[in-house]
């Protein structure tokens, strides 16, 4: 029998978008043990094979290192995709651990694109799969144009307003239980306009700017053709999960806008969980969703603070940092296992992992040969 899908029944109140039924190309032998593995640590959920056969439940794989997580503004947490790479974090080098890939004897699937033992890849969204920063810049240009043409702002004033809004976005602390993100972000524009032009608050102008910014940004958020191709190929060998920090509504709108859902076995949004990246709990939740162990997963992202630190905190097999910042990280930054400059380089990195491990299996363990470390 070939494995065709995994259905998850969700606890009450959990959106079904959060996990999509995964269909797989048939005949890839290394996928077969996916469903032979324990289904993870579901406490309230049950997992079934399509045939109706229940996957064995297992209890906690606990005993991991304590969460290394502080509450920080959304932008710093990677939600709006502007990481704080290169800034001082004063975390005393925590997480500067180079883990050797774990060798699992007898489990080599050569020929597959994923390394042996790699069963899932977790992708960050903002500035990893889609260029959120570039889309944001285009959105700002639209608003500047509108402020100048329709509201007779000077160019300098218009830019000053936009800069103030961006600063407010980076510091944004959003409590979804108290305000909705739309109200909050219209207020950013309202304040920025008042701080720049003075006078009375102008909510309607602020709302117009916000909606223009938002719709323009979403329109420019696209998953590049080559990225789609890479994900499609990769998914023939490993399971793929989208793991993004940020406000629920904002991130769900981005996911919709770039139409990336069909490329993933599951999608997890930080704002819908108890804790966001880099807390281990959200990574372990992802593992549970896919029924894999942390040591079988690879995290790929552009933020050292959230993606890489989180992957290390959760004890993942490897972390892959998309180095887009062109800056050398601070000494206190977490050290990723691998560094790539384009997400399209990921398959080669996975192959390198496989190669390294195969070499080790052949030589009865040589010295570490682990990528960036
Ligand atoms: C708000 O801005 C709009 C557009 O520039 C303008 O027509 C309107 O008079 C302003 N309202 C207030 C209360 O300033
Ligand atoms: C990241 O990229 C920049 C520019 O390509 C480079 O100077 C820097 O050394 C890179 N950092 C790491 C850790 O690879
Ligand atoms: Mg990111």
Greater confidence (49 vs 101) lies with: 101
Output the pLDDT for position 354: 81
The whole-number average pLDDT for the span 244-262 is 97
Residue 271 lies in a domain: yes
Nearest CA to ligand 1 atom 10: 202
Q: How far is the CA of 329 from the centre of ligand 2 (A)?
A: 8
Which ligand has the shortest distance to the CA of 371? 2
**Sign (positive/negative) of CA torsion 306, 175, 259, 243?**
positive
| Ligand number with the minimum distance to the CA of 199 | 1
**CA dist., res. 32 & res. 28, Å (int):** 7
Measured torsion, CA atoms of residues 303, 309, 314, 318, in degrees rounded to the nearest 10: 70
In this structure, are 233 and 336 located in the same domain? yes
What percent of the residues of the chain are helix, what percent strand, and what percent coil, each to the nearest 5?
Answer: 40, 10, 50
Q: Please indicate, yes or no, whether residues 116 and 197 belong to a single structural domain of this protein.
A: no
Residue 369 inside a domain? The answer is: no
Does residue 360 form part of some domain? no
Beta bridge partner(s), residue 297 = 120
What CATH number is given to the structural domain containing 210?
A: 1.20.120.710
Tell me the CATH number at 313. Answer: 3.40.50.1000
CA-based end-to-end distance of the chain: 41
122 and 149 together in one domain? no
Residues 249 and 315 in one domain: yes
**Domain co-membership, 139 together with 263:** no
Ligand 1: which of 143, 193, 205, 211 to mutate, judged by most atoms within 8 Å of the beta carbon?
A: 205
Domain that holds residue 36: 2-99
| Domain co-membership, 248 together with 299 | yes
45/29 Cα distance (integer angstroms): 27
Arithmetic mean of pLDDT, 81-86: 40
Nearest CA to ligand 1 atom 11: 202
On whether both 251 and 126 belong to a single domain, the answer is: yes
C-alpha 298/C-alpha 315 separation (Å) is: 10
What is the pLDDT at residue 370? Answer: 36
Cite the beta strand spans of 180-265 per DSSP E. Answer: 239-244
pLDDT of 218 reads: 98
pLDDT score of 297 more than 90: yes
What's the domain count of the chain? 3
Q: How many Å separate Cα 94 from the centre of its chain?
A: 21
Q: Is residue 19 part of a domain?
A: yes
Record the tokens describing residue 234, joined without a space. 């990769």
- Bigger pLDDT: 149 or 23? 149
Q: Same domain for 306 and 264?
A: yes
DSSP state, residue 99: P
Q: Which residue has the higher pLDDT, 82 or 357?
A: 357
> Is 364 inside any structural domain?
no
pTM (global) more than 0.75: no
Q: Verify that 262 and 115 share a domain, yes or no.
A: yes
Q: Is residue 275 part of a domain?
A: yes
Residue 329 Cα: closest atom of ligand 2:
13
Between residues 364 and 150, the one the model is more confident about: 150
Long-range CB contacts (< 8 A, 24+ apart) of 131-136?
131/221, 132/80, 132/81, 132/217, 132/221, 132/254, 133/81, 133/82, 134/220, 135/216, 135/217, 135/218, 135/219, 135/220, 135/221, 136/166, 136/217
Is the same domain home to 234 and 320? yes
pLDDT in tens, 132-142: 999 999 999 99
pLDDT digits (tens, 9 = 90+) for 204-215: 999 999 999 999
Query: What's the CA gap between 62 and 364, in Å, rounded?
Result: 30
114 lies in the same domain as 150: no
Say which range, 15-19, 44-48, 75-79, 182-186, has the weakest mean pLDDT: 44-48
Say yes or no: 176 and 229 in one domain. Answer: no
Q: Which residue has the least CA distance to atom 4 on ligand 2?
A: 326
């Amino acid at each position: 029998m070939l494995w065709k899908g995994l259905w998850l029944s969700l606890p009450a109140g959990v959106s079904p978008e959060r996990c999509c039924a995964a269909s797989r190309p048939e005949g890839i032998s290394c996928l077969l043990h996916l469903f032979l593995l324990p289904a993870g640590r579901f406490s309230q959920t049950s997992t079934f094979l399509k045939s109706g056969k229940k996957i064995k439940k297992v209890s906690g794989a606990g005993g991991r290192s304590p969460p290394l997580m502080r509450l920080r503004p959304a932008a710093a947490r990677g939600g709006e995709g502007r990481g704080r790479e290169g800034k001082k974090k004063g975390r005393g080098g925590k997480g500067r651990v180079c883990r050797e890939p774990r060798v699992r004897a007898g489990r080599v699937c050569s020929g597959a694109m994923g390394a042996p033992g790699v069963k899932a890849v977790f992708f960050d969204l903002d500035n990893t799969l889609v260029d959120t920063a570039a889309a944001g810049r285009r959105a700002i240009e639209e608003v500047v144009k509108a402020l100048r043409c329709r509201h007779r702002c000077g160019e300098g004033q218009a830019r000053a307003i936009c800069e103030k809004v961006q600063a407010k976005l980076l510091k944004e602390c959003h409590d979804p239980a108290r305000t909705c993100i739309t109200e909050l972000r219209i207020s950013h524009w309202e304040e920025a306009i008042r701080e720049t032009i003075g006078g009375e608050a102008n909510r309607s102008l602020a709302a117009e700017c916000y909606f223009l910014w938002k719709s323009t940004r979403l329109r420019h958020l696209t998953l590049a053709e080559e990225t789609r191709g890479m994900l499609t190929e990769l998914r023939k060998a490993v399971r793929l999960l989208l793991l993004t920090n940020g406000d629920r509504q904002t991130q769900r709108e981005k996911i919709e806008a770039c139409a990336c859902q069909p490329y993933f076995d599951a999608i997890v949004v930080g704002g819908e969980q108890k804790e966001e990246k880099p807390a281990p709990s959200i990574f372990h939740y992802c593992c549970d969703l896919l029924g894999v162990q942390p040591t079988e997963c690879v995290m790929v992202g552009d933020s050292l603070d959230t993606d890489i630190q989180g992957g290390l905190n959760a004890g993942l097999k490897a972390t892959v940092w998309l180095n887009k910042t062109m800056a050398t990280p601070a000494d206190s930054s977490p050290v990723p296992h691998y560094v790539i400059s384009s997400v399209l380089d990921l398959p080669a990195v996975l192959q390198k992992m496989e190669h390294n491990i195969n070499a080790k299996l052949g030589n009865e363990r040589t010295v570490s040969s682990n990528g960036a470390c």
